[in-house]
Amino acid sequence: MSVTVPGVPVSVDRVFTVHGDEELVARAGHLFDPREEFLCVASDTSTWSRPARQHNGSSLLHRGSRTGAAVYKLYTPSAVADPADGKKLTEISEHGVQIRIYSGDLAHEAIIIDRKVAILAGPPVAGVRSYSVVQVPEVVAAVRSLYQATWDSAAELKSVLADTPPAVDEQELAILRMLAAGRKDESAARTLRMSVRTYRRRVADLMVLLGADSRFQAGVRAKALGLPV
């Protein structure tokens, strides 16, 4: 998302680079208060959360929604690879934040605030990121246009999570295979070297995890999600 606009005069105070989260907050923290619109594109949930917490002690996502600003978050699939992160994003979306997942590569992680400011994050070097803060209207508009095009081609968070297999360990996979094979509880528990009571409890837990109302449905759901059962 690197953008230059030929012929646009750029003054030093309208485009500057800072190094690290602390300097970003010190020099541009006052810009982190959306009034109308807050757009964010990130590979995961951590890139912008640290400077946001340093600035106001809370998530920009929740703060933006409370002040009436429209908040949009665009992530790559790595942001929902961990079920816990997927759950967190779901909770955030329930507060009115629009979230989508983009399957392609992102040139830059960025935020765009009220169509007036664009902040582009560079890749971390020795654990420290550099940020380019841009307040040139023509450049901000160009960055926002690229954001919109990427947003339009991304998938809704809910649909992505619905197609994401839940995290299961080897023992849970073994139990799912027993269910798929139609093994009786006593036989399956003996094969897996666990008590029948434990086996039945684990089966019940898996049904909840897979959103299944029956053992048969759990097996069908597991196969539909691509689990190796």
The pLDDT score that the predictor gives to residue 224 is 64
Q: pTM above the 0.75 mark?
A: no
Q: Name beta bridge partners: 17.
A: 132
The pLDDT score that the predictor gives to residue 18 is 94
Burial 104-114, CB ≥16 within 10 A → b, else e: eeeebbbbbbe
Q: Considering the chain, what percentage of its residues have pLDDT values greater than 90?
A: 37
Across 89-93, 107-111, 218-222, least confident range = 218-222
C-beta of residue 90 within 8 angstroms of C-beta of residue 83: no
The pLDDT score that the predictor gives to residue 52 is 62
DSSP state of 43: S
Average pLDDT, the chain: 82
**d(Cα 156, Cα 63) in Å, to the nearest integer?**
22
Binned at pLDDT 50, 70 and 90, residue 133 comes out as very high
**Chain segment 143-201, per-residue pLDDT in tens:** 999 999 999 989 888 877 776 677 788 899 999 999 888 889 999 999 999 999 999 99
- As a CATH number, domain 170-224 is 1.10.10.10
The domains of the chain are located at 12-162, 170-224
- As a CATH number, domain 12-162 is 3.30.870.10
Q: Name beta bridge partners: 124.
A: none
pLDDT at 107 over 90: no
The pLDDT score that the predictor gives to residue 30 is 81
Which residues are CB-neighbours of 124 under 8 A, at least 6 positions away?
none
The pLDDT score that the predictor gives to residue 7 is 46
Kindly compute the dihedral angle of the four CA atoms of residues 62, 65, 66, 67, in this order, to the nearest 10 degrees.
130
**d(Cα 197, Cα 195) in Å, to the nearest integer?**
5
The pLDDT score that the predictor gives to residue 16 is 94
17 three-state secondary structure: strand
Compute the average pLDDT of residues 95-106: 87
Q: Which helix (H) or strand (E) holds 225?
A: none
**d(Cα 39, Cα 212) in Å, to the nearest integer?**
36
Largest CA distance in the chain: 77
The pLDDT score that the predictor gives to residue 182 is 85
Structure token pair of residue 60: 């920009």
Question: How far out from the chain centre does Cα 67 lie?
Answer: 22
DSSP structure string for 21-64: HHHHHHHHGGG---SSEEEEEESSSSTTHHHHHHHHSS-HHHHH
